[in-house]
Structure 1
Amino acid sequence: MEYKIVKTDKILIVGLSATANFLNTNQITGQLARQFMPRVEEVTHRKDNFKLSLHKYSSFNISEFNPNQTFQKWIGVEVDNLQSVPEHMETLTIDPGRYLVVNFEGTIAAFVSFWQDLHFNWLPNSEFEIDNRPHFERLGLDYNPNQAVNKEEIWIPIK
């Protein structure tokens, strides 16, 4: 599998969040996206044009995977500072650290299968250990969940 390691400084996010689990994450993601995307241009000081689909777990241990495990699901963007946050939007600060970054191209169904294989098979047999920081996908301007094929970057925190 092709990947790269990225060392980040503090990451600042502005967006919307809700409690989700692995069974309802697609539904919650859709709800958040429908609320956030019409307002994305209200967010100032954006670092780039990527949108983030983010999961903030209280702890993530794939060997104890439970589809009912709740986590905070976020849809947002990365910003340079938190000085101007639109009304009814939230902020999240991610501590500095290393991320394993894997590119994915395919359907949403293929993404689910790829994500499962990555977490259940590849990562446990790799040299990497998952860190307790948010996981996210970076979605480009051309990302559209209604398209047959999309490109995205999967960012997994490692230590």
Structure 2
Amino acid sequence: MKYKIFEAKDINIIGVKAQASFVTNGQVTSQLAKQFMPRLKEITNLKDNYSLSLQNYYGFNSINLSPTTSFEKWIGVEVNSLDIIPEGLETLTITSGKYLVIDFKGSIPQFMQLWQHIHLDWLPKSEFELDDRPHFERLPFSYNPTQEVNEEEIWIPIK
């Protein structure tokens, strides 16, 4: 598996959120994306041309994972500052720290296999520990979950 380690400064996000579980994640993500993406043009201080699919697990522990494990799901974008926030959208600041960054190209089932491999096999055997900060995927604006193959960056917080 090819990866890089990235030292991120604080990451400011504007978006929408809801509670999800591994069972409901697909449905919740779809609903949030339909709610958020039409409002993208209202955000004037975008940092880049990527959207974020973010999971805030609050104490992620691969040993205690189950299909019903609850987490906070976000769809949003990274912004240069939180000075201008369109009405009805929410903000999140991820504190600085290291991330394991993996460039991924493939289908959603292949993504799920890689995600499980990283968290259940690779990470426990590596020199890194999971950090208690949000996990996210950076998706180009061209991302479409109905496509057979997509490209994205997987960001996993480590220490």
Q: TM-score range by the shorter chain?
A: over 0.9
1:94 aligns with 2:124: no
The AA in structure 2 aligned to 1:26 is G
Aligned mates of 1:39, 1:141 — CA distance in 2: 13
- Let me know the Cα RMSD of the aligned residues: 0.8
Q: Post-superposition shift, 1:142? A: 2.2
Q: Post-superposition shift, 1:80? A: 0.8
In structure 1, the residue matched to 2:21 is 21
Aligned mates of 1:14, 1:141 — CA distance in 2: 15
Aligned mates of 1:58, 1:66 — CA distance in 2: 14
Ranges of 4+ aligned residues in structure 1 off by more than 3 Å? none
1:5-154 aligned within 5 A: 5-154=5-154
Query: Comparing 11-20 with 115-124, which one deviates more in the overlay?
Result: 115-124
Aligned mates of 1:109, 1:2 — CA distance in 2: 19
Question: 5+ unaligned residues in a row in structure 1: which ranges?
Answer: none
Q: Post-superposition shift, 1:66? A: 2.0
Question: 5+ unaligned residues in a row in structure 2: which ranges?
Answer: none
1:116-149 Cα deviation digits (max 9, x unpaired): 1111111111111000000000001221111110
Question: How many matched pairs?
Answer: 159
Aligned mates of 1:25, 1:32 — CA distance in 2: 10
Aligned mates of 1:13, 1:141 — CA distance in 2: 16
Q: Post-superposition shift, 1:6? A: 0.4
TM-score where L is the length of structure 2: 0.97
TM-score where L is the length of structure 1: 0.97
For the residue of structure 2 that corresponds to 1:6, the secondary structure is: strand
Aligned mates of 1:4, 1:113 — CA distance in 2: 19
